[in-house]
Structure 1
Amino acid sequence: MIRRALLAVCIGTATLLLAAGMLALHALPGGPPLDLSIETSALVLDRNGQLLRAFTVDDGRWRLPVSLDEVDPLYLQLLLGYEDRRFWQHAGLDTRALLRAGWQALRHGRIVSGGSTLSMQVVRLRLGLETGSVRDKWRQIGAALALERVAEKAQVLEAYLNLAPFGGNLEGVRAASLAWLGREPRRLTPAQAALLVALPQAPEQRRPDRYPDAARRGRDQVLARAEALGLLDAETAAAARREPIPTQRRAFPMLAPHLARRAQRLSPTVGVHRLTLDAGLQARLQTLAAEQAEQLPDAVSVAILVADHGSGEILASVGSAGLLERERDGFVDMTRALRSPGSTLKPLIYGLAFELGLAHPESLIEDRPRAFGGYVPENFDRGFQGTVTVRAALQQSLNVPAVTLLERVGPARLLARLRRAGATPHLPEAAAGAGLAIGLGGLGLSLTDLVSLYAAIARGGDPVALRDGLRRPTGADRSTGSKGPPGMNARVSAQTQHNPLLAPHAAWYLSSILSGAERLDQLGSAIALKTGTSYGYRDAWALGFDGKQVIGVWTGRPDGAAVPGLTGTQAAVPILRDAFARLESRVPLPGPPSAVLMASSAELPLPLRRVNGNAPGAADDQLEIAFPPDGAVVDLGLGLGSGIALALKVRNGSPPFQWLANGKPIAQAPYARSVHWRPGGPGFITIAVIDGQGQSSRVNVNVQ
């Protein structure tokens, strides 16, 4: 105690002696002005200026930039009342406060109050000076006087707001308010404001998470001073003292972490990145992705992308089920990863057929076994529906009708339209060119690509460039031919060329078909939806849109491993439904354009009533008996009695089919591609079939 008293007396005497000579310093020329350009954390903000994510400065400290108008006025009043009552009047040194501090130290034998101004504290924090060093105190005073000769008062106060320590690696009132209070400092309660004033006095000794009682005492001292100065009435101060002290440090916002990191890497020198996202929607969908991933198999992740298809602005970008989910490779942004799109390209195939006049939603088309050269597609359930309407074929996502139409429109045209929509398709390295397999997922696309495609369909066939707000290097924009402003998606050639993806009537047909499937009842009639499942159950997709927004959902393993049983209908559709439910508003799909033809199958013009499955000049569509093969010996057990029936199967051609055995008609099932016929006895038989176009095929078999 004696040693502490002697120390206080020494400090008090030194302070009085220093103060006696301080007035002379006002007339002396100052040294080099203090640099107030403070390194602050890079911020990523949403469309409304709300914080999505912040990054630490180089030394690992959180120092979020803040200006005077971003801080509650009450906090500023309490700060100046407690720390520097004559801040707006003095020139960097408050001689009265310094003399008072020295006198109190001599009188009480201990340090009662400090004499440092906010200007002196800015100097100390900026230069890293010691608080108990007389030599450093000299430097504080001299530098503070020099600072105020060149800097505005508001600049000095703002520098303090950004530099003040608040415990741990927190610096600045904004970082402290978010970490300790979970809110921006723009609106604070009296208790919260007083706590933020008190913490920098002893940032480690008053840390709320470690020493809540000390933090409370410091806060209450500030409240008592504010009450004595008339800044708070007695009732308000008493209520503030009853408010609990926060005892845990909160995590900083981590919204759209993948996109935010990409923004920071693309423009590392930019302090504030403004994205097109909506922070509220982003938070809701990140929670949805995390919750839904828990219901999926281990290591399966979720990605969600939402865009306003009117403007092209991306409203939410969920790259994974959780950035820190190691088992699910949460660090991988699956909105940009190349994956097999499964059946999600089928709508574009049908749309091209509508545009080219090859089909109408009510046209009839065959879903039967068929070979396209060496390519023999099968449906997901390995069954076939026979003759169906084009509408039903797309709603049921049948494979043979889709490939039939793709053969007519051409794979090259499909790829060209994908690029026109803003997508960047990647063909397998071993592929010699675009084949029919691309229609069922035999190429690489990202979730962003598919959202671009469905946005164009939702807009009546008019492509729109997706925009996220990122500042991309000028060279990258030039490489894609973009003339757009910073932040525009690099793949904008579709918009700059003004080439439509589809004719308006073709796009409307797709919206009508995709919004009419029975499984959409629970989503509402205003949602057009298409699912997709890639080969081997590696990717499950759901794409949907209403009159305003388009949403894409992907689920699967980021490492590309198969997940048995993972399908778009079971895994992705529930997430899509819940994502639409979390939107603030829904807009109905638009009505039909003038070129739409409303008619039943029988009312259609003759060329549209039935889809001709033969591509121009295609030899692979020739009628062919698939079974029995020519020259086969088939044991039907005819020598033991009546025997069993012989299965007759036809490939390609157009119904109706007429079967003949040794020139005589058999098997009355004209629209079936597989029939059964029982021969009258053993022997050699010539079996023939004639289709509706007059084509014929025959085989010779020996039945026994």
Structure 2
Amino acid sequence: MVVYYFCLPKVLFDANYTTVIESEEGQFIGAKIADDGQWRFPESDSVPTKFKACIVAFEDQHFYSHFGFNPISMYHAFKENRKANKVVRGGSTLTQQVIRLHRDGKKRSYFEKFVEVILATRLEFRHSKDKILQLYAAHAPFGSNVVGLEMASWRYFGLQPHQLSWAEAATLAVLPNAPSLIYPGKNQQKLLLKRNRLLKKLVENKTIDQETYELSLLEELPQKPFAVPQIAPHLLQKIAKEHHGKKLKTTIQLGVQERVNDIVNQYYNLYRQNQVFNIAVLVVDVKTRNIISYVGNSPTDVAHQKDVDIIEAPRSTGSILKPFLYASMLDEGEILPRTLIPDVPTQISGYTPQNYDLSYDGAVAANRALARSLNIPAVLMLQQYSVTKFYEQLQKLKLRDVNRHPSNYGLSLILGGAETNLWDLCRSYAYMSSTLTHYTKTQDEFRINELANLNYNSAVKIDFGASKRQKNVFSAGAIWHTFNAMKEVNRPQGDEAWRFYDSSIDLAWKTGTSFGGRDAWAVGVTQDYVVGVWVGNATGEGRPLLTGVESAAPILFDVFRLFPKANWFTIPYNDLEEKKVCKQSGYLAQENCNAQLQWIPKNEKKTENCPYHKLIHLDSTEQFRVNSSCENVDAILAKSWFVLPPVIEWYYKSKHANYVSLPPFRPDCVEASMDKKMDFIYPNPNSKIILTKNFEGKTQPVILKVAHSNPDTELFWYLNDTFLGTTKTFHEKQVIASTGTHIITVVDEYGNEIKRKIAIEKD
């Protein structure tokens, strides 16, 4: 009895299984063949009624009445085999066939048959009849390398087992008896006869009616195997690594996935004309963090890395991290949404950032700098905030590929010096959207696990944890202001007038383009969804005209059009304060500012008052500044004036026609102002300048530039102690100097002086 009890292993089939994924609706969307080259699905938890009736009628009519073997059937098989002097009939029950499949490779003999009988009775003790049928259906051979009912149903009919007709179920029921019958265009007559005999038996047993029988006879046999669907092949690759040989119901929404596939295919055919071959798209449901569409790559070829899953591949960030810096600085009171940020030629420790269009605004509001993705303001903001602090913020957001020491990145961290991936990026933006929505819904609560990972398993429900009062990374107010700035990002071509149409998508979005046109990013977020898009070449090859706005953004907006229009985010009043802010500078208003009320983050107290508005004294004409040395005190007019530093002013005026420079002092006045009148535009302090040669071998001069608050003032230029000449209106001077260190001195006609030290080398 002990030997009998332990004669059957606990695990009957230790086989290699196919990794199978289904959509959220239960539709088969992909499978990866088992390691042994067989299409063998994991065991199902049930066998469809039609196949169950067919296989019992064909293989073992007394299945539900015997206890593992049928002596009468075995006796008749013995007689017929003895008479034919070869095996012409098996006489095995379905239970015995399960044992035979379990003992695959054993030579057929009378002793082996005896062993099967013993093990079959033991199997009947262990499992119910339905479970034994499940084991048989999952491991029976169905021709070629197809094993199991579920794979056979897909392979031969393109259907799930429960969707099979009586004729289709009967066809599959006769196959394990002779699996070599099915080949496209071969042995069709033998298979047809077997199927029809089984159908006749079913009608005789009154399992089906006469009409069903006659209609079933008219159905054709399968002619060509159906291709295994590959609707989300790169998600399948990911799941095959993490859930190898399992059947997993994913969170993918089949309709969305198929339409996103179509969109990617459309743009792939367009972009490959510019030799851009790879596209990745990730769509996330914000409320659940479920991935509803996963396109890891475009339908390209092996030469262009079609099997690379780009969604988790580290790629250069470009400008895609700028919203995180903006939110961080708002959160800590370093800036307000409209604080003016300098946008002038800048060189910091040899690092010279440039705006994409190589232009300068002089100064630009922080929210507009983000919306326009200006590089110089972003670098200056990062310098003010500090690289280390921003690095720590990115670590809190769990950006796994930002993993080097902050000093390795420097200020380039904000302009593509780091790498990230689409998965982490979408998770971060989903966190921001969910944080803001939850906060406004509950008035003032955050959740502990708001930064939860993205999920593709429908059996998993994300637990966002208990409520708390403290933020995770960003406050709700900072996120709301960040999304409002991102909403104003210039739309792709054809959607520029979005503000004038009710049907337009209200979307917070950001693009990024890495150096050399290697990576084009676009990420968009609403209350309901986050969509991330990457376009480029998996090989790292850059292409001209490849930008986030022109290449990734059109895909982003086409994907968002698949969903209903979402409402814009609600203002988190409990995390904001209404304060007076200077209209022109965006700083907290001081008494000399023209102010207006704005909702700003509560940390505004750390922000300084407006430094650009000054109280000046004018004569009655308001054309000249005066003081007590030249004007009666009673006749002096006091007026607030918006004054920018000389270099900022020089560029700012070119973009703002309404800017009025500070009036000069009246000639009869003794000038007492300590305001800085002029400054160098170029070169920067302690610059090293290399004088190059032209095609004729002549050394080219360096162009020195100065900005003066009154351009019509005459300036006198000196190189060391050598007079170079004067300039008026346009203050630029060409200089060719010897190799070495030099001092540039500029003096205006009023005696104001500035100096700059430079080092000159020759190419």
Whether TM exceeds 0.5 here: the answer is: yes
Residue number in structure 2 paired with 1:61: 38
Give distance in 2, aligned partners of 1:356 and 1:443.
23
Q: CA deviation at 1:546?
A: 0.9
Residue 447 of structure 1 aligns with an amino acid whose one-letter code is L
Residue number in structure 1 paired with 2:479: 507
- Alignment of 1:318 with 2:295, yes or no, is yes
Q: Is the 8 A contact 2:429 2:525 kept in 1?
A: yes
Q: Is the 8 A contact 2:677 2:752 kept in 1?
A: yes
Residue number in structure 2 paired with 1:516: 488
Instruction: Give 5+ residue unaligned stretches, structure 2.
Output: 437-445, 590-607, 613-642, 646-675, 686-701, 718-727, 734-743, 758-763
Residue number in structure 2 paired with 1:537: 517
Q: CA deviation at 1:31?
A: 9.8
Percent identical across equivalent pairs? 27
Give distance in 1, aligned partners of 2:752 and 2:566.
51
User: What per-residue deviation string (whole Å, max 9, x for no partner) do you get for residues 275-319 of structure 1?
Assistant: 554455444434543443232234621122222333433333332
Residue number in structure 1 paired with 2:568: 589
| Residue pairs, 1:257-336, within 5 angstroms | 257-266=233-242, 271-272=246-247, 276-278=251-253, 280-297=255-272, 298=275, 300-322=277-299, 325-336=301-312
User: What per-residue deviation string (whole Å, max 9, x for no partner) do you get for residues 491-519 of structure 1?
Assistant: x99x9996532222221111112223341
Residue number in structure 1 paired with 2:754: 697
- Alignment of 1:437 with 2:412, yes or no, is yes
- Alignment of 1:75 with 2:42, yes or no, is no
Residue number in structure 2 paired with 1:465: 452
| Residue pairs, 1:246-265, within 5 angstroms | 246-265=222-241
Q: Is the 8 A contact 2:339 2:585 kept in 1?
A: no
Residues 346 and 650 (structure 1 numbering): CA distance in 2 closer, same or farther, change over 3 Å? farther
Give distance in 1, aligned partners of 2:55 and 2:177.
11
Q: Is the 8 A contact 1:33 1:143 kept in 2?
A: yes
Q: Is the 8 A contact 1:363 1:609 kept in 2?
A: no
| Residue pairs, 1:412-451, within 5 angstroms | 412-426=388-402, 432-451=407-426
Structure 1, 417-426 or 518-527: larger mean CA deviation: 518-527
Residue number in structure 2 paired with 1:15: none
Give distance in 2, aligned partners of 1:172 and 1:446.
39
Q: CA deviation at 1:444?
A: 1.7
Residue 681 of structure 2 aligns with an amino acid whose one-letter code is A
Residue number in structure 1 paired with 2:640: none
Give distance in 2, aligned partners of 1:569 and 1:397.
11
- Alignment of 1:404 with 2:459, yes or no, is no
Residue number in structure 1 paired with 2:321: 345
Higher strand share: 2
Residues 62 and 425 (structure 1 numbering): CA distance in 2 closer, same or farther, change over 3 Å? closer
Count of matched residue positions in the alignment of Structure 1 and Structure 2:
611
Residues 686 and 156 (structure 1 numbering): CA distance in 2 closer, same or farther, change over 3 Å? closer
Give distance in 2, aligned partners of 1:68 and 1:337.
37
Residues 119 and 328 (structure 1 numbering): CA distance in 2 closer, same or farther, change over 3 Å? same
Give distance in 1, aligned partners of 2:137 and 2:106.
20
Q: Is the 8 A contact 2:477 2:572 kept in 1?
A: yes
Q: Is the 8 A contact 1:657 1:689 kept in 2?
A: no
Residue number in structure 1 paired with 2:344: 368
Residue 477 of structure 2 aligns with an amino acid whose one-letter code is H
Q: CA deviation at 1:234?
A: 1.9
Give distance in 1, aligned partners of 2:5 and 2:535.
65
Which SS does the other structure have where 1:531 is aligned? Answer: strand
Residues 209 and 384 (structure 1 numbering): CA distance in 2 closer, same or farther, change over 3 Å? farther
1:357 to 333, 341, 345: 333
2:681 to 626, 637, 645: 626
1:235 to 205, 211, 217: 211
User: What per-residue deviation string (whole Å, max 9, x for no partner) do you get for residues 415-439 of structure 1?
Assistant: 111111121353778x844422211
User: What per-residue deviation string (whole Å, max 9, x for no partner) do you get for residues 380-425 of structure 1?
Assistant: 1222344443333222212222222222222222211111112135
Residue 422 of structure 1 aligns with an amino acid whose one-letter code is K
Give distance in 1, aligned partners of 2:710 and 2:704.
11
Give distance in 1, aligned partners of 2:679 and 2:385.
24
Q: Is the 8 A contact 2:170 2:198 kept in 1?
A: yes
Which SS does the other structure have where 2:522 is aligned? Answer: strand
Which SS does the other structure have where 1:332 is aligned? Answer: coil
Q: CA deviation at 1:176?
A: 0.8
Structure 1, 328-337 or 597-606: larger mean CA deviation: 597-606
| Residue pairs, 1:144-223, within 5 angstroms | 144-208=120-184, 210-223=186-199
Q: Is the 8 A contact 2:433 2:525 kept in 1?
A: yes
- Alignment of 1:39 with 2:14, yes or no, is yes
Q: CA deviation at 1:250?
A: 2.4
Residue number in structure 2 paired with 1:661: 714
Q: Is the 8 A contact 1:162 1:173 kept in 2?
A: yes
Q: CA deviation at 1:545?
A: 0.8
Give distance in 2, aligned partners of 1:650 and 1:211.
91
Which SS does the other structure have where 1:200 is aligned? Answer: coil
Q: CA deviation at 1:258?
A: 4.0
Give distance in 1, aligned partners of 2:347 and 2:381.
14
Give distance in 2, aligned partners of 1:543 and 1:610.
35
Which SS does the other structure have where 1:413 is aligned? Answer: helix
Residues 359 and 241 (structure 1 numbering): CA distance in 2 closer, same or farther, change over 3 Å? same
Residues 656 and 343 (structure 1 numbering): CA distance in 2 closer, same or farther, change over 3 Å? farther
Q: Is the 8 A contact 1:447 1:554 kept in 2?
A: yes
Residues 87 and 586 (structure 1 numbering): CA distance in 2 closer, same or farther, change over 3 Å? farther
TM-score by length of 2: 0.69
Residue number in structure 2 paired with 1:676: 730
Give distance in 2, aligned partners of 1:291 and 1:345.
28
Give distance in 1, aligned partners of 2:43 and 2:265.
32
Q: CA deviation at 1:156?
A: 2.1
Give distance in 1, aligned partners of 2:644 and 2:253.
47
Which SS does the other structure have where 1:122 is aligned? Answer: helix
Residues 392 and 150 (structure 1 numbering): CA distance in 2 closer, same or farther, change over 3 Å? closer
Residues 143 and 387 (structure 1 numbering): CA distance in 2 closer, same or farther, change over 3 Å? closer
Give distance in 1, aligned partners of 2:182 and 2:221.
11
Q: Is the 8 A contact 2:400 2:420 kept in 1?
A: yes
User: What per-residue deviation string (whole Å, max 9, x for no partner) do you get for residues 123-179 of structure 1?
Assistant: 332223789866655554454345435543233222211221100111111111121
Give distance in 2, aligned partners of 1:165 and 1:601.
78
1:601 to 575, 583, 590: 583
TM-score by length of 1: 0.74
User: What per-residue deviation string (whole Å, max 9, x for no partner) do you get for residues 584-628 of structure 1?
Assistant: x553231111116597835963357689999xxxxxx99742369
Give distance in 2, aligned partners of 1:255 and 1:283.
7
1:85 to 56, 61, 85: 61
Q: Is the 8 A contact 2:138 2:148 kept in 1?
A: yes
Residue number in structure 2 paired with 1:6: none
Q: Report the aligned-residue RMSD.
A: 4.5
Residue 563 of structure 1 aligns with an amino acid whose one-letter code is R
Instruction: Give 5+ residue unaligned stretches, structure 1.
Output: 1-27, 472-484, 615-620, 631-645, 665-673, 680-684
Give distance in 2, aligned partners of 1:204 and 1:527.
57
Give distance in 2, aligned partners of 1:696 and 1:215.
102
Residues 659 and 603 (structure 1 numbering): CA distance in 2 closer, same or farther, change over 3 Å? closer
Q: Is the 8 A contact 1:311 1:464 kept in 2?
A: no
Which SS does the other structure have where 1:660 is aligned? Answer: coil
Give distance in 1, aligned partners of 2:413 and 2:39.
49
